[in-house]
Structure 1
């Protein structure tokens, strides 16, 4: 769970930074209405983060549009709320992993 938690903490750090840094300048590209290229869909960080959010039952958060990104940016500005969101994502992932018989735990 260290990797999952680390990527969410990094996202919170980036969302709290100035919008002129390269990481924040690149984010609108992922959420524009550009047509997807042919072939296998790429697994990008926003896709992975959205998949993490979809697993949360208690919230209706997604990461598919610029509005969703702005909502997450507002949550990230309040560190207690962001830390609670990260903890909830981690708990959900741990619960899903413990329920999975292929996880290798006995």
Structure 2
């Protein structure tokens, strides 16, 4: 197997597709986890006057955020995108039957 084929196989195995609603959910979860871990890290680090504890707590929060947001969980694919039917040259909906020939009547171009 060539290097290009191996890289393509690796890319395909690591590609995690999620829908738009899932992207919003991931973004909100990441924001909450990171802000919460930053607040806890700051308060405990300030109370104990220890910068090492501050960075350790924030690092744990960051790793937890990665664990929650990186895998393509089923909740991130619960709303698949429904694509519209393709439009013809004049704005009419193309169907599988009409794609091969003309249907006769042609509507005017739709204003966009």
TM-score norm. by structure 1 comes to 0.30
Which structure would you say has the larger RCO, counting Cα contacts within 8 Å and 6 or more residues apart? Answer: 1
Select the structure that is richer in helix: 1
TM-score norm. by structure 2 comes to 0.29
